[in-house]
Structure formats: C-alpha cells, structure tokens
Copies of this chain bind each other. A is one copy, B any other.
Amino acid sequence: MTDLLIRPAQSHDRDAIWSILEPILRAGDVYALPRDWDGERALAYWFSPAHHVFVAESAGAVLGSYYVRANQLGPGDHVANGTYATHPEARGRGIARAMGLHSFETARALGFSAMQFNLVVATNTHAVALWTSLGLREVGRLPGVFRHPTLGPVDALVMHRPL
C-alpha cells in the first residue's frame, strides 16, 4: 500500500483502535490477553504509559495499530517488544508488514538494539511467515503455553532480531 500513513496514535483514535482490537480479542487465537476485555480495559492496556502507540491510516481510515515498549527493565531494557493489530477487513494489503518495518525504525529511534516477540502463536502461520520474512528468527519454542479456542493447547514461538 503506497498511501499508508503511520503516525503516533491520538486519543481520537481510540474508537477506531477498539474496532480493530475487539474482533481479535474475541477470536482469542492470537493474543495472550483476556478474550472478554471491554473497550475501556483493552484501551487502557494498549495505551499503557510505557507503550509507544501508532496507527496505520489510509484515506482517513485507521486500519491498523501497534505499540512498542521495552521488553524488560533494567539490564534488559535495550530490547524492544511490539504488538500489532490489523483490521480484519483490511488484511492481505501489507499493513502488518508496513507496521512491522515502521516499528523497527521506531524502536531504533528510541534507542533499542533488538526486537523480541515473546509469544507468537505457532498456529498463526501468517504471523510466523511475516516475521520470518522481516528478519526475525525463532529463538525459543514454548510448549503448549497458548490455549487455542479450537485447537487446544498449542506452542508459541519466541522470535528475535537485532535492529
């Protein structure tokens, strides 16, 4: 998508972000977050003080959002962590890829030297393929740590790349 604008999220983006997060939370197959969170609780999490939140916008419509943050504190605070959400109706248009690349630049600008994802659900093959194509590699496989709504306990991957 050449017309995609990725910019810091503002408070007026909250409803649009919730419309993206809600179906992903309810589906329960991607995030290790409560499936029954309401908008207030989910947005309080998404906009946590330690999160740098961005939205991806096309023709005035917010189609995706992500945040980056320090993955750990103290002697681990040189590694970033990110979480990404694309509107279900806007999938397949390269929005997640664009947000991923943007998030690496953001993390570099914030002083981080690596990106780590702590829990990429192994059955989320689109995500695994996307992150692999963007230079992340599997550095761990967590056995059965995610309860998939239809598949039961499935593995999750820890993925990492230098920035």
Residues in chain A within 8 A of chain B (CB atoms): 28, 31-35, 71-79, 114, 116, 118-119, 139-149, 153, 156, 158, 160
Contact = CB atoms under 8 A, between A and B. Distances in A.
Contact of A143 (B34, B78, B139, B153): B139
A139 B144 CA distance: 12
Nearest to A70: B32
B76 A146 contact: yes
Given A32-B73, A73-B32, A139 B139 contact: no
8 nearest A-B pairs in the assembled complex, by CB-CB distance: A140-B140, A32-B76, A32-B72, A34-B74, A75-B147, A33-B74, A140-B158, A79-B145
Q: DSSP majority for the A interface?
A: strand
B114 A144 contact: yes
Contacts of A35: 74-75
Contacts of A160: 142-143, 145
A145 to B, nearest CB: 5
Contacts of A149: 75
